[in-house]
Amino acid sequence: MIKWAVIGTGQISRSIVPDMIQVGLDVHVVQSRDEAKAAAFAREFSIPRWESNFRAVLDDPAVKAVYIATPIATHARMATQAILAGKHVLVEKPLATTAAEVDELFVLARNTGVFLMEAMWMKFNPAYRRLHAELKADALGGPPTFLRAGFAIPFPEESNPSRWDVTLSGGALLDQAIYPVTLAHSLFGPPTRITAGGRVREDGLDLSEHVTLEYDDGRFAQFFTAMDEFGDCSASVGGPKGWLTLPPPFWATTDLEIHTGSFRTIFHSPDLRKNDREGNGFVPMLRAVAEALDNNLVEQPLHGAADTSAVFATLDAIRRQLGRRTAEKTATTSSHPR
């Protein structure tokens, strides 16, 4: 059995480790720069070993795979070190900060012969899989033509310090917008036109985005994100005969609403398809990772290098537009002093 190391002891690790255990993954060691936190985490989840030194984990020949859940700015660097050490790597989303970093990581993993995946759990969740199954079965009477989604939730700075730290690649884009962008790509592929705006602090930290992704055949996706205020956190996909809705929070829901049929059914009594949640919701993804490793794959087909890279290319384009709009606003303000 492959022995795993968990890197980081934050909330996401606290949520995913019980699911790793449920799937049957052998969590051998947990690492945190704070040795006391690592020791407490290990005791809580009955992990046999803890470490404060990342290098010591990578030098352990018993460890064959690592799950990285540290601040976003560290993902690419730590994943690179783990790959070079010959470890299989699962990195909490986002895998890196730019498409260039993503491409470099996948090339390195492929050349080293180890598995690499971004932990985009949404793509493995039963409601997401059911959405795609319904579309494949022509539930909308034709291909979907539009997507609307939102991920707007206030995250207090005192309990989410890294999210509010621009030096740690915090902000709404990489932590929140990645979900609707991933959903749009899975439905429509990479867009041909991107229009983006939002609110960016003076230090460059993005607080919100509103984005339209357009396609040459007329399809489009619109979404908004915010980390300092609430908004509708559902997602809907529409077509000729109705729409499908992932209820809030769309990236974690186990339910799917099917709004098709008569007008009464569409508006008042949609068909609700409920799915059981396994563990904290990470079980389907972890099971898929385990199956890929059992089959000696270096990528998971449901979320491989090409898909991940394309999403990050869109995120890069959104970031550039946010930066350009911020620069234009600054220039306008400077030229018209009060």
Q: Which residues are catalytic?
A: 93
- Give every strand in the sheet of 242-246, ordered side by side: 193-200, 206-214, 220-226, 146-152, 235-239, 242-246, 255-260, 271-274
Residues paired with residue 273 on neighbouring β-strands, in sequence order:
256
Cis peptide leading into 191, omega within 30 of 0?
A: no
User: What is the rounded CA–CA span in Å between residue 296 and residue 292?
Assistant: 6
Q: How far apart are CA 249 and CA 233, in angstroms?
A: 5
* Alpha-helical runs (H) found in the chain: 11-23, 35-44, 54-58, 75-84, 99-112, 126-136, 172, 178-188, 263-268, 283-294, 305-335
DSSP state of 176: I
Instruction: Please name which of 279, 303, 337, 305 lies closest in space to residue 182, comparing C-alpha atoms.
Output: 303
Give every CB contact of residue 296 below 8 A, 6+ residues apart in sequence: none
- Is residue 114 within 8 Å of residue 81, measured between CB atoms? no
Cα torsion 38, 289, 311, 245: sign? negative
Tokens of 163: 């999210």
Q: Contacts for 243-247 with beta carbons within 8 Å, 24 or more apart?
A: 243/140, 244/131, 244/134, 244/135, 244/139, 244/140, 245/270, 246/127, 246/128, 246/131
Q: What is the DSSP letter of 181?
A: H
- The span from the CA of 129 to the CA of 35, in Å, is 39
